Amino acid sequence: MYQYNPVDQQLIDQRVTEFRDQTRRFLGGELTDEQFRPLRLMNGLYLQRHAPMLRVAIPYGLLSSAQLHKLAQISRDYDRGYGHFTTRQNIQFNWPELERVPDLLGELAEVQMHAIQTSGNCIRNVTSDPLAGVAADEIEDPRPWCEIIRQWATLHPEFAYLPRKFKIAVTGASHDRAATQLHDIGLEVVQGESGQSGFRVRVGGGLGRTPVVAEPLREFLDQRDLLSYCEAILRVYNRYGRRDNKYKSRIKILVRTMGIEAFRERVEREWAQIRDGELRLSEARISEMKSHFAAPEYQFFSGEALLEVERRLMADVDFGRWQRQNVLAHRQPGYSIVVVSLKKTGVAPGDLTADQMDAVAELAARYSFGQLRTTHDQNLVLADVPQTGLYALWQALSALGLATPNIGTLTDLICCPGLDFCSLANARSIPLAADIAERFDSLDFLYDLGEIQLKLSGCMNGCGHHTVGHIGILGVDKKGEEWYQITLGGRADNQAALGQRIGPSLPLDRVVDAVDDILQVYLQAREEQERLIDTVARIGVEPFKERVYAHH
């Protein structure tokens, strides 16, 4: 894990001092709302429906136990005893007091954390694969590249006031678990012709009001040119992106307006000017960065020790179920990847209490080298668990309510905070998520359904990523009432696609039935091991639509 050097530390310490001064000036009336707004946003602070919301950066989703303990303490001391993990691998606190936010930021700085650029029209937290460094299908660990990008993007003087927010994601594996095609820049590690690795660069993806799947900008970028090429893209965007209408200011609109060819030409022309300049990455810099993400010191386990795990699996049905659903294959023999489910029925997806945070931090210290990851589908990952520890870990997680064996199933759904918290929302999302989880709580039924990604947003800004859900649900406002639009066939992986609307929106009390209808059509129509998403691709949305709207 990357550790701050004195320069990094000084940077965030200064930012705390600066924000303390800005908050003081705002509270003292020296700064207007209008002037304070971009400053607080640059520090992750929104003024929301009930209270300020502070979004804390978790760079590429990587956390140490010490950091999670700190987040636990902060949620106790500054919030209401819980935090909310977001779809961009960050954590949000929903109830801090504005006056105390500078102190809160000061505490974060003690564990090398901050809220810089988690909001505002700037380069946001870089996101990545939660299985980085441990996945079997990995070409190269994306985290050193994420960190290189993070350092370049943090407080970049030229790009602090972009036309709109800017999100970058990196994947180093053949299976995209970072939704890179739905980012302003999506980077995918690929092998070049002569075997060296580089990046496929995509641009202009994004969700929100105008969802777009990113277009390929460059098929192969030499690793050393990563920053100069990103800088070229950002400079073109900063100069030519629209600023007159915030709904048309994302880079996807610029790409669409110019056309990808013309956009590419501009970027390449700009890049030609800077690619041999100071941003070129040296071999030394790259290998130094890689050393921060070296594999932990794995142990060797005897066959006998591992047999004991097998025996447990045979003997304990519940453990076996959890192991099949929430534990993933690790590339190191004797180790497993454990997904900690934050999707217990009755709990808002992504929420974790302070006590749970402390407990998970301890479990990470005991079983996973003191580190954990947040995922973009709002779970946590303990990435390096020795198989000999699985049973004890499962028992501990079960006691905490964090072992619901539903990873990858319908109830492992993602959802934004919705109308309950967010001032942008049109409709509630958390209660609907709860209704869905309650209706479909039979594990056998969930397992029979197989992999389904249900994603739910309370408004068209799409924080719940509904557009790329296998089943997407979008809350809309209809004459002051909450209605919901359903889409099918969206996906955020390598075959990224936007969901198709199945028909007019539905009132709240019909949504869960509609989901049931969709599932029934799928169960009748599926062939062999076909997943819902594949059935939708094969038969189209029409049969689903017929069933959902049949009785009305």
Partner 1 sequence: MLIIKGADVTEDEWTRLPEGQAPTDDSAEQPLLVGLADWLLHRDVLLARAGRLGVLLCGEDEVERLIPDLDHLQLIAVSFPVFTDGRGYSQARLLRDRFNYAGELRAVGEVLPDQADLMSKVGIDSFSISDSVDSRRFFGLAG
Residue closer to partner 1 by CB (options 30, 137) is 30
End-to-end Cα, the chain, rounded Å: 56
Applying the rule CB under 8 A, the residues between 264 and 293 that interact with partner 1 are 273
Residue closer to partner 1 by CB (options 37, 344) is 37
Applying the rule CB under 8 A, the residues between 110 and 129 that interact with partner 1 are 121
239 binds partner 1 (CB under 8 A): yes
Structure tokens belonging to residue 68:
């999670």
235 binds partner 1 (CB under 8 A): yes
Q: ∠ CA 498-499-504 to the nearest 5 degrees? A: 135
Which residue do the tokens 């499962």 mark?
394
**Which residues are bridge partners to 259 per DSSP?**
none
Residue 477 class from Cβ within 10 Å (0-12 exposed, 13-18 middle, 19+ buried)? middle
Q: Which stretch binds partner 1 (CB under 8 A): 233-241, 310-318, 410-418, 475-483?
A: 233-241
238 binds partner 1 (CB under 8 A): yes
User: What are the backbone dihedrals phi and psi of residue 282, each rounded to the nearest 5 degrees, phi first?
Assistant: -85, 155
Residue closer to partner 1 by CB (options 4, 240) is 240
22, 118, 119, 171: which one binds partner 1 (CB under 8 A)? 22
11, 38, 312, 526: which one binds partner 1 (CB under 8 A)? 38
Rounded Cα distance between 535 and 253, Å, is 32
Yes or no: say if 422 and 416 are a contact pair by the CB < 8 Å rule. yes
Least spacing, CB of residue 2 vs partner 1, in Å: 23
Rounded Cα distance between 542 and 10, Å, is 58
Residues 6+ apart with CB under 8 A from 30: none
Rounded Cα distance between 179 and 188, Å, is 10
Residue closer to partner 1 by CB (options 158, 438) is 158
Least spacing, CB of residue 236 vs partner 1, in Å: 9
Nearest to 67 by CA among 138, 1, 166: 1
Residue closer to partner 1 by CB (options 122, 536) is 122
Rounded Cα distance between 210 and 206, Å, is 8
Applying the rule CB under 8 A, the residues between 288 and 327 that interact with partner 1 are none
CB atoms within 10 A of CB 442: 9
20, 243, 256, 501: which one binds partner 1 (CB under 8 A)? 243
DSSP helix/strand/coil, 392: helix
Least spacing, CB of residue 41 vs partner 1, in Å: 10
Which residue do the tokens 């790009």 mark?
159
Applying the rule CB under 8 A, the residues between 141 and 180 that interact with partner 1 are 157-162
356 binds partner 1 (CB under 8 A): no
CA 208 to mean position of chain CA atoms: 15
Least spacing, CB of residue 161 vs partner 1, in Å: 3
Least spacing, CB of residue 39 vs partner 1, in Å: 6
Residue closer to partner 1 by CB (options 99, 158) is 158
1, 39, 47, 512: which one binds partner 1 (CB under 8 A)? 39
Nearest to 373 by CA among 54, 82, 119, 132: 132
Q: Which stretch binds partner 1 (CB under 8 A): 3-11, 31-39, 326-334, 535-543?
A: 31-39
28 binds partner 1 (CB under 8 A): no
Count of residues of this chain found to bind partner 1 when the rule CB under 8 A is applied: 18
Task: Please give the residue ranges that form the binding site for partner 1 (CB under 8 A).
Answer: 18, 22, 30, 35, 38-39, 121, 157-162, 235, 238-239, 243, 273
